[in-house]
Chains A and B, each alone.
Chain A
């Protein structure tokens, strides 16, 4: 068994998601190589080399890979695929973009969003918005897998893998990067945050997110999320959405403020260690999954919480 892990990074830092997908790749058994494709991304390769259980790091440093366009990136992975029994990537937006293209080019049926490895060919994955867990066994000789990273621990450090430079392959040249608008934030990233506070439609405006959610996030060092309803209403940016069609999260503490708890939202937070619900409706479904529920108006509860946290942090 030999596995190729396709990494996710921003040309500077290897993502947490990659370190978690590595744990899934290792559980398949056998050697794991990691491919880093990007531009000016040697530092990322060095980070990958320090993860435990990595055999080799393959570094493809070229203009074509700077923005992770699917066409050149998939062509590169396919060119590397021959000696590997499995190709694995985290279910990040780039993994989900690239890996099915790789799978089709290799004539393999991809297994998406693997949440558990039962055997090297048998996996669990959530379907129907997380309402059902499917157990599948693949008959493909080569496996192509994306990983629901919240279901796996981060791989440990202490590794000393070798870094080998590999050549870029021809770019089909059918796509071109134009621009990027990333929400620069000093806050923790949702998918790797230890604490998350999310707001729902009850927040009523973007200003209220800033006024009521931000102070608590500041004090707890938390990432900020939102329900689909809040994003649909324009109270929060799209990439804050937590849920089956947004971000899947697994923090130690998830605080849901003014979120009723639609099934698709709950599917995105079910791996959270502790869920806190603050809602004035005592019958809100969120209370059925919350470890601690507070039936209260968030417009009084959140400022009170911010004040108490300020006291204890003073």
Chain B
């Protein structure tokens, strides 16, 4: 079985994000970029399925600037076998990304696609579900456990208030939640080997897909900051303030 894992290059989770003074975008100059953490979990899960013998090959796809090759190399170091780099400048919306991925999938014919539940830049939480809709495939979002059983996959999902377990007929789409696994720390030999794995390059325009943005970004701004209040000296003073000043208990 072949597993396809889309991976996105995003601002590193530990980087400090600043809005440009004119509100036109986020200032990314000199900011460290990395593989989207949820996508890293997806690559790790695919690798574990391969190690268990449930999958034969892992193909990663990244859509973005030429530098997105770096996140494919990160995926290779975990365990992906080969990559496709779909080069395009500027931010594509999840709907356009899902359309490109659909075209890639129709050529690659994977039985399973595992994605991160959201990218930590635009926090949309859409691409996997959109892709499933476009392909007419079943979906299991926010996965915390994945088991392949023949031509089906059993997925436990994190839902409000607990967990839900569903069974999907393959081919299917899975999106990963935070605690599906902890991605391995890639060892040096894996990183060296990752440099030799093949990357096929294409242009976003080569798929004949409508990429025109549907949303116009009018402005980015930093949210109003909460101000620090006061320090109280004791539990007694705290409860007094909550009762008599804030009136919340």
Contact = CB atoms under 8 A, between A and B. Distances in A.
Interface of A: 67, 69-71, 74, 92-94, 96-105, 107-113, 122, 126-140, 172, 174-183, 189, 191, 195, 220, 228, 231-232, 238-239, 244-245, 247, 252-253, 270, 273-276, 287-296, 301, 304-305, 308-309, 312
A100 B158 CA distance: 17
Given A92-B160, A127-B123, A273-B248, A238 B144 contact: yes
Give the interface residue-count category, chain B.
Answer: 35 or more
25 contacts: A101-B129, A103-B95, A104-B131, A109-B215, A110-B130, A128-B11, A128-B17, A131-B222, A132-B19, A134-B217, A135-B219, A136-B216, A138-B214, A174-B169, A178-B154, A180-B162, A181-B165, A182-B163, A195-B248, A220-B249, A239-B162, A253-B248, A270-B226, A291-B229, A293-B230
Contacts of B1: none
Interface stretch (B66-74, B75-83, B133-141, B196-204): B133-141
Interface stretch (B54-62, B106-114, B186-194, B232-240): B232-240
Contact of A132 (B129, B131, B142, B220): B220
Contact of B221 (A122, A133, A136): A133
Given A136-B216, A291-B246, A176 B166 contact: yes
B162 A129 contact: no
Given A102-B133, A180-B163, A239-B158, A128 B121 contact: yes
Nearest to A10: B161
Given A109-B95, A175-B138, A179-B165, A287 B219 contact: no
A151 to B, nearest CB: 11
Contacts of A138: 214-216
Given A100-B126, A239-B162, 6 more contacts: A93-B157, A128-B17, A136-B217, A274-B242, A292-B242, A292-B246
Contact of A112 (B124, B144, B164, B225): B124
A189 to B, nearest CB: 7
Given A70-B132, A94-B159, A97-B129, A308 B223 contact: no
Contacts of B139: 70-71, 97, 101, 175
Nearest to A251: B248
A177 B123 contact: no
A132 B221 contact: yes
B231 interface: yes
Contacts, number: 253
Chain A interface main SS type: mixed
Contacts of B130: 100-101, 103-104, 110
A7 to B, nearest CB: 14
A39 B127 CA distance: 29
Contact of B17 (A93, A131, A137): A131
Interface in B144-196: 144, 154, 157-169, 172, 177-179
User: 9 tightest CB-CB pairs across the interface, nearest first?
Assistant: A291-B229, A104-B130, A100-B129, A109-B214, A104-B133, A182-B162, A174-B138, A100-B126, A101-B133
A79 B142 CA distance: 26
Given A71-B139, A245-B178, A292 B165 contact: no
B232 A110 contact: no
A100 B133 contact: yes
Contacts of B166: 67, 69, 175-178
Contacts of B131: 104
Contacts of B98: 104
B104 to A, nearest CB: 16
Given A175-B166, A175-B168, A139 B221 contact: no
Contacts of B158: 93, 238-239
B95 A309 contact: no
B88 to A, nearest CB: 17
Contacts of B21: none
A180 B228 contact: no
Among B95, B121, B136, the most chain A Cβ lie within 10 Å of the Cβ of B95
B241 to A, nearest CB: 6
Nearest to A303: B235
Contacts of A174: 137-138, 168-169, 172
Interface string B94-124: 1100100000000000000000001011111
A117 to B, nearest CB: 14
